Chain A
Amino acid sequence: MSSADAAVSRWMGEDMQKRVASRYAAERRFRFFGFAAVALSVAFLAFLLINMAWKGLGGFTQTEARLMIDFPRSNLMLDPATLRGPQAQESVATAGLDGVLEQAAVAQFGEGGGEMFGGASARALGDQLIADPGLLDRKAELWLPVSSKADIAAKGDGDPAIEKLVAKADTKRLFNSGFLTASDATDPSEVGVWGALKGSFLTILVTMALAFPIGVMAALYLEEYAPRNRWTDMIEVSINNLAAVPSIIFGLLGLAVFLNFMHLPRSAPLVGGLTLALMTMPVIVIAGRNAITSVPPSIRDAALGVGASKMQVVFHHVLPLALPGILTGTIIGMARALGETAPLLMIGMRAFIASPPQGISDPSSVLPVQIFLWSDEVGRGFVEKTSAAIIVLLIFMLLMNGLAIYLRNRFERRW
């Protein structure tokens, strides 16, 4: 066998077949790794969402228990006449309903039965008394919301001692409408997201009112008018860099400039909105520039050709055509601002605020910060409330992102 023969590849030989087979196997392995990476990422997402939903859905319900209260024989000093009067709320609040509840609960469930009901139960009892003052004259069987401890026990995750109590009681689970209409509170069974949601809404409104016009105008200038020189290069570099600066740095900027230098009110949606606007503006500029570049030059040429001024070309033709793209970018930027926590912590939005803000300069909380604050609480009742608030936040994020995708598909034109 000569050396020339050895150099000739024998395509059908066993060696070659083996090598081809192993190369094909490597191909399949590689493909499998790719698939596994995607599958793993999607599995993480699914795990995260299911985990939150599982923990949080309980936060939307509240357990109620049936309690027999013998009003005439309890030592309750409450005049049915005041219940009909204008001071009904105050008289009920000072009547010592907690004691009545405790007495009735001990009578019905035995030793330690008082644990079953808390402050929220007393308030609910007060409301029922105001609605029907006639209750005071008889022995009545009422459905009352149970305390946070008993609520957790009824959902199967509490103290064994209380779980035994709950097992004795006649309970039902209702939708907890208070969670969507109340604000922060110290008792986990009374907390709600409305105050935080309203704060978030006001903050985003301020952000939107500032970042959208400024961002669009900056994008128009940079794309349509700016000459190529050092200044525009600097603007461009700083916009691209600002889009990647950590959000907490914007918080420090807000703290130093808006609070310490300009003395704007702490923890107000105004300051939060200003800070988030600085953060969101670069995102809108970048999205806006992409949308503006994708408008074909022929449209500009046609408008210039019939005598429009440069300004008219931009504001009458380019901007309306680019607007869907700009809006998509804006909504995505707003969604990011809605979920942002760190810069708002820096400007003092971490106080306990029990009433919803009335305006943009009132102290308020926002939903992500509320989640952060609740996650720090020790009470076990806060765990499901935190997850429930996360569900509310995620629903808003999904709605905004869905709207962005819808706008993109519906209005964006391919030229």
Chain B
Amino acid sequence: MQADTYPGLVDGFVLDEADAVSAEAVSALGLTPLVTQTVMRNLNDKQALAEAVLRFSDELSSR
């Protein structure tokens, strides 16, 4: 079966601080990385990640 997945779909890739070492490799794929805390243990974490993702998306829009 074909397995071409989704080339060109994703512009920005959000990865956790624990995976920061991969940011450069993500960038090499043509995706803009954002390293932030992504584990959502409580409502504050959920809101913080949502705000970070929206800011990141805005930044990508303005490029």
The answer to whether A and B interact is no
A-side residues, CB < 8 A to B, are: none
